[in-house]
C-alpha cells in the first residue's frame, strides 16, 4: 500500500516571481518570524527523517510493486529493446558513436579490436564534445536533429582525413539519453523528452533514426544509423563487452536510469509489441530500459521545496525520482531552500545574489564544491559560489556553513533514495529460489554519469546504503557492487552496432 507523501506545514512566504526581478534587491519585509537556526533545524529534520534504514527498506518494497506492475503493462517504462544477446567481447570494427546526453552531445570514432589479456579492446580514436545549453535544449523539432547532423558532418570529414579517403562510409550507433520505444534494433519512436528539451515537440512517434538521417542526408553525409540504444542500455552493453557476466547498469548524471538483462518471462504478454518471428525464435532474454526516473510517485517522501520544483517544472510528475536525485535538480533544490532563507530569515542580509533568482541557475557542481571543501573557512566553495552568483558583500562563515549543510542533506537524501531504488531493482530482477534459500549471486551494476563519477562521496554513500539494505534482505556486504564503466555511452553505441552484425 503506498505510503502518503510526507506533507509538511507550508511556511507562508512572499511569492517568488515578482520579488526577484533584479539582483541585489532588498526584501525589506522578510518576515523575521523564525531564526536561521530554526530554519536550519527544520531543513535537517525534513531531509533526514525518511532516511532510517527500515523506512528505506519499506519504500523499496513499495517500489518493487510499481516495478512489477510496469514490467507487466506500462508503455512508458520497462521498455524492452531488441537486444537479445550480449556481446562476446570479440566484435571488431570502426564505428561512429553518437551520444546525446542531457548537457553534452558527443561524437566519437570508436574502434573495437576484440578483448585480449592486457586490453579491453575498446578504443576511442577521436571524440568531440559539444555543450548542450538552454539555447540548444530549446531547439524545436527537426532543428535539434539538424544541429546534431552538422556536428556529425565535422567528424565524418575528420574520418575521411585520417583514413586518407573522401566521404568514407560510416556505420553509426546512437546512445539516446531519453525514452525511446524501439521498433527494431536501429529504429525507435521518439517519446516525450525530459531534461528541458523541446526537440520532441511535434515529432513524438516519429523514428529517431530517420530524424537524425534526414539532417545527415541534407548534408550529403555517407553515414547510416545501424543501432539505437538508450544510454542505460549502452552502459550495460559496453561493460558486457569487458565482462560477459554484466547484467545491470545505472546512469546518474543530468538524469537517472537503469537497464537490466531479463528473461522474456519477466515481461507481460503485450510488452514486446510487434516483432519478427525470427526475433522470437532467437530471443530468450532481452535488455530492458527501465526508465527508473519515472518511479516513486506517492512513495518517496518529499519536502515543500521538492513540491515547489515539481509544480514549476515544464513536465510536473513526469520523472518523480529524477527530480529528487539527479544533477539537473540537486542544485535547484538547494537554490529553493536558499531563496526561502533569504526572503524569510534574512540570509545574506536579505539580498539575492546575482542569478540566484533564476530557475536552474544554481549549478550542482557548486553544491559539490561545498561538499568537497574541507577547509574551515570554506574559501574555495565561497569562490565558486561568488563567481557564479556575485553579491555585494561576501557571505559570512555561518552562511557558508548553512549552504554546506543544505548541500549535504540534499545529496545524502539523493544517494539514499538511489540506493533504495537500486535495492528494489535488484530484488525484482534477481529474486528466485536461491534468494529464498538465503543464497545470493554476486551482482555488479555497471555505472556511469557525472554524479556517479564526479560528485564528492556520492558513489560511496550510495554503496554503503545499498549494502545496509541488502543486509536487511539477508545478503552479505559485497553482494551488489557499483562499478564504474568509463565512456560507457560511446562504447555502448559502437558495441550495439557491432552486435547487429
Closest CA to 97 of 127, 136, 117: 127
DSSP secondary structure code for residue 89 in this structure: S
Cell of 182: 524501439
For the four alpha carbons of 383, 378, 43 and 45, in that order, the dihedral sign comes to: positive
Of 221, 256, 356, 407, the one binding ligand GLC (CB under 6 A) is 256
Q: Is 188 one of the binding residues for ligand GLC (CB under 6 A)?
A: no
Whole-number CA gyration radius for the chain: 23
The stretch among 44-52, 70-78, 253-261, 472-480 that binds ligand GLC (CB under 6 A) is 253-261
Binders in 286-325 for ligand GLC, by CB under 6 A = 291, 293, 319, 322
Q: What are phi and psi of 33, to 5 degrees?
A: -80, -10
The stretch among 4-12, 228-236, 297-305, 472-480 that binds ligand GLC (CB under 6 A) is 228-236
End-to-end alpha-carbon separation of the chain, Å? 46
Q: Whole-number minimum distance, CB 318 to ligand GLC, in Å?
A: 9
Q: Is 249 one of the binding residues for ligand GLC (CB under 6 A)?
A: no
Q: Is 251 one of the binding residues for ligand GLC (CB under 6 A)?
A: yes
Instruction: Report the residue number, 230 or 302, with the smaller CB distance to ligand GLC.
Output: 230
Q: Whole-number minimum distance, CB 99 to ligand GLC, in Å?
A: 10
8 Å CB contact between 292 and 83: no
Of 62, 74, 77, 177, the one binding ligand GLC (CB under 6 A) is 177
CB-based burial label for 329 (10 Å; 0-12, 13-18, 19+): buried
The stretch among 58-66, 177-185, 461-469, 493-501 that binds ligand GLC (CB under 6 A) is 177-185
Q: Is 163 helix (H, G, I), strand (E, B) or coil?
A: helix
> Distance of CA 67 to CAs 18, 33, 76, 288, Å?
41, 44, 12, 12
Q: Is 235 one of the binding residues for ligand GLC (CB under 6 A)?
A: no
Binders in 264-293 for ligand GLC, by CB under 6 A = 291, 293
Instruction: Report the residue number, 232 or 382, with the smaller CB distance to ligand GLC.
Output: 232
Q: How many beta carbons lie within 10 A of that of residue 154, not counting itself? A: 12
Q: Whole-number minimum distance, CB 191 to ligand GLC, in Å?
A: 9
Instruction: Report the residue number, 251 or 446, with the smaller CB distance to ligand GLC.
Output: 251
Cell of 35: 531564526
Could you tell me which residues come within 8 angstroms of residue 205 by beta carbon, excluding any fewer than 6 positions away? 189, 190
Residues making contact with ligand GLC (CB under 6 A) = 102, 177-179, 194, 230-232, 251, 253, 255-257, 291, 293, 319, 322
Amino acid at each position: 500500500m503506498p505510503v502518503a507523501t510526507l506533507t509538511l506545514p507550508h511556511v507562508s512566504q512572499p511569492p517568488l516571481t515578482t520579488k526577484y526581478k533584479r539582483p541585489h534587491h532588498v526584501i525589506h519585509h522578510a518576515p523575521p518570524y523564525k531564526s536561521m537556526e530554526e530554519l536550519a533545524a527544520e531543513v535537517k529534520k525534513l531531509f533526514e527523517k525518511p532516511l532510517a534504514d527500515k523506512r528505506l527498506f519499506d519504500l523499496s518494497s513499495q517500489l518493487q510493486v510499481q516495478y512489477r506492475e510496469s514490467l507487466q503493462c506500462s508503455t512508458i517504462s520497462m521498455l524492452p529493446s531488441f537486444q537479445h544477446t550480449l556481446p562476446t567481447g570479440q566484435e571488431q570494427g570502426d564505428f561512429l558513436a553518437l551520444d546525446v546526453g542531457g548537457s553534452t552531445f558527443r561524437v566519437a570514432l570508436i574502434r573495437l579490436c576484440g578483448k585480449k589479456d592486457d586490453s579491453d579492446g575498446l578504443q576511442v580514436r577521436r571524440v568531440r564534445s559539444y555543450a548542450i545549453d538552454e539555447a540548444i535544449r530549446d531547439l524545436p523539432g527537426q532543428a535539434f536533429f539538424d544541429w546534431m547532423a552538422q556536428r556529425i558532418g565535422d567528424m565524418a570529414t575528420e574520418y575521411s582525413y585520417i583514413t586518407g579517403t573522401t566521404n568514407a562510409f560510416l556505420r553509426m550507433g546512437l546512445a539516446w539519453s531519453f525514452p525511446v520505444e524501439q521498433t527494431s534494433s536501429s529504429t525507435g519512436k521518439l517519446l516525450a523528452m525530459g531534461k528541458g528539451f523541446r526537440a520532441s515537440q511535434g515529432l513524438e512517434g516519429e523514428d529517431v533514426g530517420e530524424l537524425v538521417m534526414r539532417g545527415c542526408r541534407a548534408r550529403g553525409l555517407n553515414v547510416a544509423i545501424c543501432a539505437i540504444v538508450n544510454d542505460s542500455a549502452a552502459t550495460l552493453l559496453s561493460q558486457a563487452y569487458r565482462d560477459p557476466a554484466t547484467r545491470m547498469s545505472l546512469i546518474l548524471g543530468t538524469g537517472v536510469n537503469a537497464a537490466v538483462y531479463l528473461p522474456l518471462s519477466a515481461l507481460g504478454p503485450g510488452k514486446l509489441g510487434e516483432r519478427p518471428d525470427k526475433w522470437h525464435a532467437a530471443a530468450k532474454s532481452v535488455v530492458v530500459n527501465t526508465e527508473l526516473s519515472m518511479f516513486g510517485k506517492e512513495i518517496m517522501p518529499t519536502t515543500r521545496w521538492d513540491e515547489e520544483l515539481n509544480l514549476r517544472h515544464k513536465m510536473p510528475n513526469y520523472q518523480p525520482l529524477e527530480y529528487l536525485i539527479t544533477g539537473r535538480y540537486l542544485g535547484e533544490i538547494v537554490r529553493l531552500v536558499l531563496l526561502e532563507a533569504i526572503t524569510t530569515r534574512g540570509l545574506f542580509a536579505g539580498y539575492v545574489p546575482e542569478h540566484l533568482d533564476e530557475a536552474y541557475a544554481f549549478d550542482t557542481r557548486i553544491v559539490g564544491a561545498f561538499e568537497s571543501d574541507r577547509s574551515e573557512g570554506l574559501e574555495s566553495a565561497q569562490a565558486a559560489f561568488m563567481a557564479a552568483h556575485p553579491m555585494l558583500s561576501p557571505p559570512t562563515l555561518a552562511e557558508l556553513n548553512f549552504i554546506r549543510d543544505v548541500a549535504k542533506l540534499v545529496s545524502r537524501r539523493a544517494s539514499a533514495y538511489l540506493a533504495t531504488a537500486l535495492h528494489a531493482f535488484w530484488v525484482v530482477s534477481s529474486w528466485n529460489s536461491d534468494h529464498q534459500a538465503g543464497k545470493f549471486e554476486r551482482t555488479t551494476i555497471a555505472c556511469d554519469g557525472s554524479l556517479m563519477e564526479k560528485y564528492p562521496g556520492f558513489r560511496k554513500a550510495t554503496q554503503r546504503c545499498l549494502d545496509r539494505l541488502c543486509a536487511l534482505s539477508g545478503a552479505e556486504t559485497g553482494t551488489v557492487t557499483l562499478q564504474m564503466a568509463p565512456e560507457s555511452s560511446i562504447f555502448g553505441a559502437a558495441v550495439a552496432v557491432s552486435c547487429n552484425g
